[in-house]
Amino acid sequence: MTSNSILWLRRDLRRADHPALVAAADNGPVAVLFVLDPSIFDPAGPVRQAWIARTLEATAAAYEGKLCVRLGDPAEVVPAVAAEIGARSVHVSTETEPDGSVRDRRVRDRLGELGVAWEETGSPYAVTPGRVRNGEGGAHRVFSPFAKAWRNHGWRPPAEKPADLALLELESDPEAWERLTAAATAPGLPDLPPAGEDAALHRWRTFLADDLEAYAEDRNRPDLSATSRLSPYLKLGVVHPRTLLHDLADHPGKGPAIFTNELAWREFYADVLHHNPDSLWQDLNPALAQMPYDEPEDLIQAWKNGRTGYPIVDAGMRQLLGSGWMHNRVRMITASFLCKHLHVWWPVGARHFLQHLVDGDLASNNHGWQWVAGTGTDAAPYFRIFNPMLQGPKFDPEGAYVRRWIPELRHLEGRSAHEPWKNEQGYARGYSERIVDHAEERKEALARYQLTR
């Protein structure tokens, strides 16, 4: 017997490879719902709001204009929509982030009071966090063993599209779309990538054809367009990692193996957060709990604005502000500078990144920061301090990345763009002088580290 059901979209804004959609369609007609929760949407920065808005516009088109967007608290909205259409079940992708899990329990309990079934099928990950275990049945705390166990666990093939999908048409909340339209067209936004599932799959096919083979060698070069740039799409589930892994199986070699490893890092950090929800904003590793930190507001602001006087750091911070994205190698360099040169606790930087990154993923962002800070799982030792004067020339050897994002240094050729202090004309166009001395701050960081021991 068929009955109406709801597919409640969250981090799964697509139609292809969507197990929850398949499960919903098996019951009969489906209402596709997205709840615009002001408690989540309003605090997000303009870039994140715009990316959500544009992705929802593309998702609505993919669902033939039958995406219902309602504004409010999901614990109120979802049961109300279920009552409105007489739904017997609500279908979702499993959520494992701390706030999302709490929200889902609230919604599930309210639906239970109405006699509406709660059905979880699939998740935003190839392997749902919590399923990969070590030999003792516990959670992994180090990446390499996790990655091996993750591969051994394996994943299902991509889900087939429903053979017979009947979409119910529900009226959206006009205010919800007004907010989304305003966010999508807000003034001063950076040049964001095209939104939607078709754009994501096009980007993936282009990467497979043009960049995958050399990915292992070129992925650390911010001066090259050598990365997949899929992270914004993965963030909102516009493409599923299982789809990518399925396609990668047809591509042997080092590049595909390294790219698979990057997907494993994403799943590892999600697993760590699932098992340690307090690590979202607290040190996972308490070994440095006594570390003294500073709060130099003027220096933090210089870092945020890309005016530290260290070109590779400033180029990264300006790329973040100018594009809503930053190359991963440069994320590590800029994070290390804040933590080790300015002696600032990592959440300050993590929050700034989340405000501006179009791909701002809680687990990956915050645990990546802890990796650099030396307080997370599988962390770089605290005493490993990225030297921006070496990192820049190593990964941007001709200075092209620096010149792209720092106009004040475009008159300097080649490597000299990384070393304006060595050039008589280095500061001729107003570039900032160094706000701290690398050698002194490295010594200070190591002294603070010794205090914790």
| 288 confidence band (pLDDT: 50, 70, 90) | confident
pLDDT at 50 over 80: yes
Domain with CATH 1.10.579.10 in the chain: 286-452
Q: In the CATH scheme, what is the code of domain 125-159+197-275?
A: 1.25.40.80
Instruction: Quick: pLDDT tens for 221-255.
Output: 999 999 999 999 999 999 999 999 999 999 989 99
pLDDT at 2 over 80: no
DSSP SS3 for 14: coil
pLDDT at 453 over 90: no
pLDDT at 1 over 60: no
Mean pLDDT, the chain, as a whole number? 96
CATH 1.10.579.10 fits 286-452, yes or no: yes
Domain with CATH 3.40.50.620 in the chain: 1-123
Instruction: Quick: pLDDT tens for 128-170.
Output: 999 999 989 999 999 999 999 999 999 999 999 998 899 999 9
Q: What is the pLDDT of residue 355?
A: 95
pTM of the model: 0.96
Q: What is the pLDDT of residue 308?
A: 98
| 274 confidence band (pLDDT: 50, 70, 90) | very high
Instruction: Quick: pLDDT tens for 373-424.
Output: 999 986 666 678 999 999 999 999 999 999 999 999 999 999 999 999 999 9
Distance in angstroms (rounded) separating the CA atoms of residues 449 and 379:
14
**Under CATH, domain 1-123 is a member of which superfamily?**
HUPs (3.40.50.620)
Distance in angstroms (rounded) separating the CA atoms of residues 345 and 283:
10
Q: How many residues does the chain have?
A: 453
Contact 90, 80 (CB under 8 A): no
Q: What is the pLDDT of residue 83?
A: 97
Q: Identity (one letter) of the amino acid at 292?
A: P
Half-sphere exposure in the Cβ direction for 92 (13 Å, CA):
21
Instruction: Write out the two tokens for 319.
Output: 């790329």
Interval 271-292 mean pLDDT: 93
Domain with CATH 1.25.40.80 in the chain: 125-159+197-275
Closest by CA to 376, choosing from 200, 192, 169, 141, is: 141
Contact 79, 111 (CB under 8 A): yes
Interval 200-225 mean pLDDT: 97
Distance in angstroms (rounded) separating the CA atoms of residues 346 and 370:
7
Interval 108-115 mean pLDDT: 97
Instruction: For residue 227, report the phi and psi dihedrals to the nearest 5 degrees.
Output: -100, 170
Angle between the 328-336 and 388-395 helix axes, to the nearest 10 degrees? 170
